[in-house]
Structure 1
Amino acid sequence: MTTLRLPPSGWPLLLLCGVFLLSGLVGHDPWKLDDATHLGVAYEFAVHGDWLRPRIGHDPWFATPPLYHWLAALLGRLGSGWLAFADAARLATALCAALLLWGIGRAARALQDEADSRWGAPLLLLGTLGLLTPIHDAQPAILLLAAQALFILGLLRLPAARARAALVLALGLAAALLSAGTLALCLMLPLAATCLFLPAWRSRACLPFLFLGLVAGLVLAAFWPLLLARQAPDLLPLLWKAEQLRLTPRLNGDAALDHLELLGWASWPLLPLAGWSLWVNRRQLATPGLLLPLVGTGAALVSVVLWEAPRPLQHLPIYVPLTLLAVSGIARLRRGAANAFDWFGMMTFTLVGGLIWLGGISMVTGEPARVARNFLKAEPGFVGQFRLLPLLAAAALTGLWLWSLLRLPRSPWRSVTHWVAGMTLTWGLLACLWMPWIDYGKTYRPVALSLARALDGSTECVGARNLGDGQKASLRYFIGLAPSQKPDCPWLLTQSTERKEAAPEGWRLVWTGHRPGDKLEKLRLYRRG
């Protein structure tokens, strides 16, 4: 009987990670909100130039620094001959995720000095529920996580390989600042400060390289704002305002409770495993292997609760140190707990996989009729079509899942491996069987093309009111429309949630549009006079 060593390593782990990361990453339009917004910024860099000034259309955009968007723009241009720009640019997320998995694996090995930790940490991180959607979008936060992993790896390797570790530390700090802004310092500096209290890092041989790495990282990150100040000094107040907004505390009682509730499910299964790891190692909390991940988790949690809204995306910085804290607890799980986790994962994902198959079949065949009606009710006008290659891919994924249920050997890591395989099955089946339906509901392509027909090619001077970043980016991407700030444009495009809206004085309504399943968001086009 063919078995697999657990945790999987080498080619089996690469295959599992590759399928997980690439499933659903390509083959669809820019999606509403974050995906469309970040692809829109990258599109401006790639198509319209001016690589120092991030923008959407004509509007400056400083919600996050531009390192991820530079990478996405480069990939979009390089892959333009064989992929749509959005698909090629979205591969930046896969590259950042691959760097994240490599970095956290090496960091776990440096912390635990066990081969299982090197392979198990990436596996454990991939299984985190809150990471499932962001890691398949155009998302700078994945670059921040990779930067966190590099920074921690650099810190851990400083006593043994000072110069190389300082370089890795500097690159991690610079990448964090250029993907998340000054808020990244709240994640990184507490870890560096903790090292000052540990003998191996406080030595005369190590300490200068620690400071050298920190200073080099700050200098590297400063190049972009300095060049921006030289080329466009008028944009510096906008950049400073964006940084101030990021550092404005958002803490209140209700938000704190929302954060705790969100952490409970989004960090599954990391949080209970980290708690178990702390318990079984409670007499060794002062050792670097536990102290550094514990400080990193605390710093990330405080930063998120103080300065971020309670959204799953904002909790991502917690997962890197929490993974390093949790990984040491896997091998010491009680057999009953490990078996319960294993059975829960196997039953849950088998059931979820069956439901996804049922939904995919109903969208194409119309049977069962009740299920098909529910899909049509959510996205009116959608027509499912039979697609052979995605069907074969879905069947292959299902076969591999069934193989894993029967052939994985007993091991403390079997429950985690089953969990990640189940997550891969779920996302892979959604990408194969539900992607057309999801894309139909989340893209602005039909709305943009309908708007272009109403404008009759006149997209040069269109004013806008209340358009979101994702909407502006989508209109720019699909029809080349960039809302103008000129006061005398003959067209005005507005967005509101009202079913009926009185036309502004001096304007007449010529077009309305919205995405099929969105009953709140209404776009209206007015013409002057």
Structure 2
Amino acid sequence: MSPTSPALVSQDAVRRLARSVLMLVCTVYVLAGFVGRDAWRNDDVVAVAHMGEIARGHSSWLQLTLAGMPTEHPGLLPYWLGAASLKLLTPVVPPDMAARLPFMVLLVLALACTWYGSYYLARARAAQPVPFAFGGEAKPKDYARALADGGLLALIACLGLAKLGHEATPAVAQLALAALLFLGYCIRPYRPWQGTLAVSTGVLGLTLCGAPEVALMLGIGGAVLEWRQAHAAQGDDMRLQDPKGLWLIAACSLASGFVAHAGGLWQSPTYPFVLAEVQWNGYLQMLVWFMWPAWPISAWALWSWRRQLWNWNSNRHLAWPLYCVVIICLASLRFDNADTTLLLALPPLAALAAFSLVTMNRQMAALMDWFAVLFFSVCGIIIWVVWVAMHTGVPAAPAANVARLLPDYVPRVVWWELVLALAVSGAWCALVRWRSGRHRTAIWKTLVLPAGGATLCWLLLATLWMPLLDFAQSYRGLALQVQRSIPDGQCVQAIGLDRHEIAALRWYGQVKLAGPWQLESCPWLLVQAVGEDNRTETHVDLTQWRQSAVISHFVVYRDSVVLYQRR
């Protein structure tokens, strides 16, 4: 036990958060955003379309293509999971939902790994609270459970998890497998072979998901940290000395490198580490909101435990999550998809944030509570005001803004969504009232309002605003318009279309798109329109074609396409 531990925690402070409440929050958070919508533009619809191509037999399982174009993302495993789910469940489950089900399970896996990772880190000898002179300090298992509850709440509260965590994209698979790898090293001192299996699976899975750099750095770096910590281990932590497990992890890491090389999974860096000033400003701004509120809480934890940071060998509860966060943040600087890379840092960051709960003073806790109440209450009120304005025209300004941005949108009330939104709003009011009462003992109380507020706003968006967002982000309408304009079975040559438009045409319209080399054999031509006058800029001789239709997205008019028929 560390004699300089800053944790002074009584048994009364580690009372358990009700399992039913915690499970309900997690269930609502996972379902909201996955259910009741189409695949949205950009990465979401592109990923789902790739899964559909595999399931329908139009693409190889090893060489992914979409209308003849190779995938931009090097990972294979996420598409395999979605395609397998489509093949198994499509007759029973709607295709959109069938493609998302594996990613819902992966998000649940990420949440579970964060809880158990925080639990086993808190079980470490150096993480235990200082014993009281006359007893009454927190029991180790109860202490670990309370910190694990706090770690899970910190993850749910992270703003960056909301949108990216609810898409059927490789980012969600990477998040789950990175969390599994993180958990593996957390549990190895107590369950050596289960931990070894989790780490090995995480390394191989991350590699197949298109993140071999992060997989190798975390896999090998964690092994080095554990090997160094083995020399300082005492008591139960002597199980750190498990050379067979470390050798197996090293072998899996080496095998992952070969798999990445053979499969072309290595990504070339987009940016050097020395970024321009504009890039740094954008990156730091994204970092602040994406990891909020876990990053300031984690900073408080590092400051409170700063004396233990100097001795990494005996403080794995700090060393391992901090190492993960630093490595992932550095990796995010090298590629243009920094947000999807930073997503992998949220589980270890949340686990690190949990250790601030045992040292946070009342002033800091009160500041966080008031900020959470004000921020999320204002966000919730805005969501409700805009929804009321859409349906009644009052207030006039929000109603006019919606009409200007979405002129073709017709508001509709989905009663079960309205009832659910009212229920969650009432639950938020009850939670604020509960937190304002005299509930000062439970150490996880500080993260209840941030997690509850994030769940509130995300659920309100997924209910009240879901028809609006689905209308704006879905390309189902454009794809079906194109499908109705073309006789069945006839091929279309697409020129200049964005990848998400092609994906929507294949996924929703099942339009037979031809490759560039098949122009002469196709009776139809689809060209991206430019400008408000829908002019076309293409190298194709349009004198051989006659314009058949101009088809526009309901909202994004720059995504208009012009359909031509061969003369």
Q: Which consecutive aligned stretches of 4+ in structure 1 deviate over 4 angstroms post-superposition?
A: 4-7, 200-205, 217-223, 246-251
Q: Does 1:289 align with 2:299?
A: no
The Cα offsets for residues 345-384 of structure 1, whole Å up to 9 and x where unpaired, read as 1122222212211222222233333322211211121111
Shift of 1:401: 1.1
Residue 98 (structure 2) aligns with:
88
The Cα offsets for residues 230-262 of structure 1, whole Å up to 9 and x where unpaired, read as xxxxxx7xx53x634367757522323322221
Residue 68 (structure 1) aligns with:
78
Distance 1:5 1:384, change over 3 A: farther
Q: Does 1:330 align with 2:357?
A: yes
Alignment of 1:430-445 (within 5 A): 430-445=461-476
Q: Which moved more, 1:397-406 or 1:184-193?
A: 184-193
Matched to 1:89, the amino acid is A
Alignment of 1:338-349 (within 5 A): 338-349=365-376
TM-score w.r.t. structure 2 length? 0.84
Q: Does 1:131 align with 2:140?
A: no
Distance 1:171 1:247, change over 3 A: farther
1:300 to 304, 328, 335: 328
Distance 1:38 1:204, change over 3 A: closer
- Which structure's CA Rg is the greater one? 2
Contact persistence 1:513–1:522 (CA under 8 A) = yes
Contact persistence 2:189–2:238 (CA under 8 A) = no
Shift of 1:218: 5.4
Distance 1:341 1:46, change over 3 A: same
Q: Secondary structure at the match of 1:479?
A: coil
1:280 to 301, 304, 307: 304
Distance 1:220 1:310, change over 3 A: closer
Structure 2: 5+ residue runs without aligned partners? 1-12, 124-143
Residue 9 (structure 2) aligns with:
none
- C-alpha distance in structure 2 between counterparts of 1:59 and 1:202, whole Å: 53
Q: Secondary structure at the match of 2:549?
A: strand
Shift of 1:275: 1.0
Shift of 1:33: 0.5
Residue 396 (structure 1) aligns with:
423
Q: Secondary structure at the match of 1:191?
A: helix
1:207 to 243, 252, 255: 243
Matched to 1:520, the amino acid is R
Alignment of 1:228-267 (within 5 A): 240=264, 243-245=266-268, 249=272, 252-253=275-276, 254-267=278-291
Residue 172 (structure 1) aligns with:
202
Residue 519 (structure 2) aligns with:
487
Residue 501 (structure 1) aligns with:
536
Distance 1:337 1:181, change over 3 A: closer
Q: Secondary structure at the match of 2:550?
A: strand
Q: Secondary structure at the match of 1:525?
A: strand
Residue 562 (structure 2) aligns with:
524
- C-alpha distance in structure 1 between counterparts of 2:171 and 2:219, whole Å: 15
Distance 1:327 1:156, change over 3 A: same
Residue 364 (structure 1) aligns with:
391
Matched to 1:355, the amino acid is I
- C-alpha distance in structure 2 between counterparts of 1:290 and 1:193, whole Å: 15
Structure 1: 5+ residue runs without aligned partners? 227-235
Residue 458 (structure 2) aligns with:
427
Q: Does 1:268 align with 2:288?
A: no
- C-alpha distance in structure 1 between counterparts of 2:337 and 2:285, whole Å: 9
- C-alpha distance in structure 1 between counterparts of 2:274 and 2:54, whole Å: 35
Residue 316 (structure 1) aligns with:
343
Residue 231 (structure 1) aligns with:
none
Distance 1:319 1:280, change over 3 A: same
Shift of 1:312: 2.9
The Cα offsets for residues 307-333 of structure 1, whole Å up to 9 and x where unpaired, read as 222653332122222222221012311
- Length, aligned pairs only: 511
Residue 515 (structure 1) aligns with:
553
Aligned CA-pair RMSD: 2.6
Alignment of 1:450-461 (within 5 A): 450-458=481-489, 460-461=490-491
